[in-house]
Amino acid sequence: MPPKSPRKAAGHAHEELESMGGRNEFQDPEFASLCGKLRISDHVKGRAWKTYEQLERSVLVGVGTGCNERWLMRDSNKTVSLGLCLFIASVDCEEMAFTFTELLKAINMSVSRCFRILKEMDINVDNLSTKVDHAISKLKTKYETMCHLYQKFQRTFNVIFTEMASNRTANDSSTSSILTATWFMFILAKGKVLQMDDDLVISWQLLLCVLEYILKRSPSEVLKEPYKSLVNSLSVNGPTRTSRRGQNRNRRASQVAVTDMRVIEVLCKENECPVDEVKNVYTSSFVSFLDSVGILMTDGIPKGEVMSKQYEELYNKNKDIDARLFLENDETLRADVQDSLDQERTPRKNLNETLIPPQTPVRAVMNTIHQLATVLNSANDEPSDILNTYFTKCTVNPKTNIVNKVEYLGHVFKEKFASAVGQACAEIGYQRYKLGVCLHYRVMEAILKSEEQRLSVQNFSKLLNNEIFHTCLLACAVEVVMATYGRHILQNQSNSITDLSFPWILDVFELKAFDFLKVIESFIKSEPSLSRDVIKHLERCEHQIMECLAWQSDSPLFDLIRQTKDREGSIDHHEGTSILQQPLQHNHTAADLYLSPSRPNSHSSTAPTTPSNINGLHASPHQQKSKSLSLFYKKVYRLAYLRLKSLCSRLLSDHADLEHIIWTLFQHTMQHENELMRDRHLDQIMMCSMYGICKAKNIDLKFKTIVTAYRELSNTNQETFKHVLIRDNQHDSIIVFYNLVFMQRLKSNILQYASNRPPPLSPIPSIPQSPYRYANSPLKVPGGNNIYVSPLKNVYKTSDGMLSPTKITPRSRFLVSIGESFGSPDKFQKINQMVKSSERPLKRSTGDGAVPKPLKKLRFDTDGQDEADGSKHIPGESKFHQKLAEMTSTRTRIQKQKLEESTGITKNEDK
């Protein structure tokens, strides 16, 4: 039996709500009082009251059935519930009459606690629309960004200005007023300049500009060194008020910005921020902000009251969080105690160990930017001499087309960036694009060198004249830059989505996701200096494409599938039985994938990538299978099976045999009913396959249970199960999709698995493994107690600009660098003592008391292969001891070899 859709009940509730529109049925005093405070319209009142009634019914049903619905009674009261229902209804009706801070004040709740309760409402009641989810996500992002900025502001301000004592003097009072004026001026500038709420980098650089403006106008007695001496040395001989009346304000501002950049330079140096970027923000954004609010460069410190009044207009317009309250340490902006308790804790450290403070988000982003700048320090935004040599050796020189395309896309990017971030940030966007161009040419050169070595040719005319290849390569480079400047790559959260997040770059460059996918792996392998966070981000982009972006209606993927079906009758060859059970290894490069067939309506024949067809000729006239399509399906299957395996381990641990059956139905759908994927998500088909097989096998598994477990998987989004295409641009929940679409198309196939003669099972793919190696990924030692083998981590910079691992090493930490001198043998003795003291009996044991099976061998990946030396090990021996034994053996062998060499030299000298 298919599940009942909750949307029918919701439809009746909506009709009942409409019929009540003009009646005054809401006599509840708390509700009436709250509506009065927040200026709620009658339409929103009705919607909110119905939401509240649904919430109450859900809690009563949950308590009556023994379900865990006590979250509402524990974390909220009636006023809180009514207030949150008013917020939900206001967002759904697009009639927001109050600010978010006004709501928090009215229900006496902190912002972090509010977010937590709304999340629990969504999980337990499932009554939040995607519109509400988006509004909450946007508010949460702005709140977190402002928290980071205020913390950074406090620390920086205290470094520049004298501290405010409890018994305030005149100087302390001056410092207090400067603090207020600076923060109010910054939040006003941020609101005026930026349309985005979460651009941490530009916001921080804008804060430095505000600090520079205030610092130069502050009395020297409230400044600390080196700022005190610096401000005293600045020239104060500016034009008089009378003489400057006839001057052009913008010209005067530009002159001051050029001549008085010494303070900016010191601020950037002290805060390790790129000075050129901050100067760009100052001249392109901050000066125009001053002009827009009527502040002259020759004015003094603006009054906090004036800044506050202008900010209030902006705050009331945006209906969000009042950032002025940070200065008051207001209760609504404080972190929730429960959030602190729920944070993941690391194992207790040795009390005598020197603790390393964690990086702040601002510092982390600045470090990733510095890494990218170091990589691109020698790169150029023009083709190098080596690239020009490749261009000249082509049958048709592609240089003019490439350079023109880069220039044209630069103007497009600048315009789109300004539209998304703010018109005053156009030059900032173009500066980031230029970094992407440098990376683009650098990676292009690396790819061509690799292809030359692989194919022993230098004429890449066909590849270099492929416009899609160049546009995708440039888009990937720019995406790396955008991700580096974006805070979301440092967060392991899928909901940290911004206006500039992928796939924004595809829309800017008018690219198809399926085409972009072809370049990602080659890009990563051609640029070994990419950080782990950037590689993970690109891998996540790859997953997004395989999950849904490549399955959009206008994707070339469907034409390629149709061509394959017309030519071969099916697409079973995408992932044959033998191929499915092989590791995901291939030698395909970007050149193979872009020159592989097949664009629709292409009349040219295709052949394997060889020296003859890489430069525009064809080696053979026969048709071949598309490498890009074959590789795409391999990756899709492995990604899907990894998700399915995770869900089955959570939900069907008592029915292990069902995993194989569910996989068979899923693969059948992808091969023979792939039209179901059009404008839909891979996980929607996976969850429907799981539910359908469980119903056929009479396993009691509700769709809500599947969805709840799905939420816990990494990189998932609520829209996947809340907003599913039904037909003709109509969307509904995944339950409705299963009933009206999936079940109708696959009913006969699903019922076969309930018969006595079920269809044969499809092969299970090999366990997915990322083709990318992460330089900083630690490998945990099996059986050890929090013991990892890991490369040295790069956190802090040295004077030469490179990153140094030794800067973060506490005295009590034991580090062994393989391949270098081991130093004192005491290190090994201490490590052995630590391992022995932490060893515990293995959990795996047999009933007859036999020796437990040894844990799997620690793997050290080298180009996707496992390194094994064939040496024998004692079954119960610690793997860490085994590795140390191997290292000691290597050291002994090297010493013995050196000794023999030195002995031989001595003998020769004696002769």
Q: What is the 3-state secondary structure (H, E, C) of 687-749?
A: HHHHHHHHHHCCCCCCHHHHHHHHHCCCCCCCHHHHCEEEECCEEECHHHHHHHHHHHHHHHH
* Mean pLDDT value of segment 419-441: 93
In a domain, 514, yes or no: yes
* Mean pLDDT value of segment 882-887: 61
**Percentage of the chain modeled with pLDDT above 90:** 44
pLDDT in tens, 100-140: 999 999 999 999 999 999 888 887 766 688 889 899 999 99
**Residue 184: its pLDDT value, please?**
96
Alpha helices in 486-622 (DSSP H): 504-509, 513-526, 532-547, 556-568, 577-580, 590-595, 611-614
Residue 468 has pLDDT above 50, yes or no: yes
Scan for tokens 């003592």, then name that residue. Answer: 833
Task: Say how far apart CA 198 and CA 486 lie, in whole Å.
Answer: 9
Q: Provide the pLDDT confidence category of residue 251 given band limits of 50, 70 and 90.
A: very low
* Mean pLDDT value of segment 217-243: 72
Query: 436-450, 613-627, 632-646, 770-784 — which is least confidently predicted?
Result: 613-627
Is the C-alpha dihedral spanning 575, 577, 581, 583 positive or negative? Answer: negative
Residue 714 has pLDDT above 50, yes or no: yes
**Residue 104: its pLDDT value, please?**
95
Query: Which residues span the domain enclosing 696?
Result: 551-755
Torsion angles phi and psi, residue 573, rounded to 5: -70, -10
**Residue 891: its pLDDT value, please?**
64
Same domain, 559 and 585: yes
Reading the block at residue 760, the tokens are 């044969």
Same domain, 195 and 328: yes
In a domain, 137, yes or no: no
Average pLDDT of the chain to the nearest whole number: 76
Higher pLDDT, residue 756 or 845: 756
Torsion angles phi and psi, residue 780, rounded to 5: -80, 135
CB-based contact 629:564 (threshold 8 Å):
yes
> Of the residues 90, 106, 128, which one is the last residue of a structural domain?
128
Same domain, 108 and 163: no
In a domain, 907, yes or no: no
Residue 724 has pLDDT above 90, yes or no: yes
**Residue 256: its pLDDT value, please?**
45
Q: Please, which residues have CB within 8 angstroms of residue 826's CB and are 6 or more apart in sequence? A: none
Same domain, 170 and 67: no
Q: How far is CA 382 from each of CA 379, 394, 528, rounded to the nearest angstrom?
A: 9, 18, 21
Higher pLDDT, residue 694 or 788: 694
* Mean pLDDT value of segment 869-878: 43
pLDDT in tens, 649-677: 999 999 999 999 999 999 999 999 999 99
Q: How many CB atoms lie within 10 A of CB 529?
A: 12
Please report, for the domain that includes residue 208, its CATH number.
Answer: 1.10.472.140
Residue 16 has pLDDT above 60, yes or no: no
Same domain, 599 and 732: yes
Task: Say how far apart CA 608 and CA 586 lie, in whole Å.
Answer: 14
Helix-, strand-, coil-residue percentages of the chain, each rounded to 5: 60, 0, 35
Beta bridge partners of 256: none
**Residue 260: its pLDDT value, please?**
72
**Residue 848: its pLDDT value, please?**
44
In a domain, 152, yes or no: no
Same domain, 479 and 404: yes
Q: What is the pTM of this model?
A: 0.77
Report DSSP letters for 94-139, one per residue: T---S-HHHHHHHHT--HHHHHHHHHHHHHHT----HHHHHHHHHH
Residue 406 has pLDDT above 60, yes or no: yes
**Residue 750: its pLDDT value, please?**
93
Reading the block at residue 219, the tokens are 């009395």
Same domain, 723 and 801: no
Map residue 780 onto helix, strand or coil. Answer: strand
**Residue 119: its pLDDT value, please?**
85
In a domain, 142, yes or no: no
Angle between helix 42-64 and helix 29-38 axes, rounded to 10 deg: 140
Residue 858 has pLDDT above 60, yes or no: no
**Residue 204: its pLDDT value, please?**
94
**Residue 669: its pLDDT value, please?**
94
Alpha helices in 194-274 (DSSP H): 200-216, 227-233, 249-259, 262-270
Task: Say how far apart CA 203 and CA 366 lie, in whole Å.
Answer: 12
Same domain, 575 and 624: yes
Task: Say how far apart CA 335 and CA 112 lie, in whole Å.
Answer: 6
**Residue 358: its pLDDT value, please?**
57
Burial of 873 (0-12, 13-18, 19+ CB in 10 A): middle
Same domain, 539 and 562: no
Residue 617 has pLDDT above 50, yes or no: no
Residue 73 has pLDDT above 90, yes or no: no
Q: Which of 21-35, 157-171, 287-301, 417-431 has the highest mean pLDDT?
A: 417-431
Same domain, 87 and 167: no
Q: Provide the pLDDT confidence category of residue 440 given band limits of 50, 70 and 90.
A: very high
In a domain, 352, yes or no: no
Residue 457 has pLDDT above 90, yes or no: no
Q: Provide the pLDDT confidence category of residue 637 given band limits of 50, 70 and 90.
A: very high
**HSE-up (13 A, CA, CB side) for residue 786:** 7
**Residue 212: its pLDDT value, please?**
93
* Mean pLDDT value of segment 728-746: 94
Please report, for the domain that includes residue 375, its CATH number.
Answer: 1.10.472.10
Whose CA is closest to 858, among 847, 844, 871? 871
Q: Please, which residues have CB within 8 angstroms of residue 886's CB and are 6 or more apart in sequence? A: 869, 871
**Percentage of the chain modeled with pLDDT above 70:** 65
Same domain, 615 and 586: yes
pLDDT in tens, 816-857: 545 445 555 666 666 666 655 544 433 333 444 443 333 333
Same domain, 535 and 389: yes
Residue 908 has pLDDT above 80, yes or no: no
Map residue 356 onto helix, strand or coil. Answer: coil
> Of the residues 547, 577, 601, which one is the last residue of a structural domain?
547
Alpha helices in 456-531 (DSSP H): 461-464, 467-485, 504-509, 513-526
Task: Say how far apart CA 463 and CA 610 lie, in whole Å.
Answer: 12
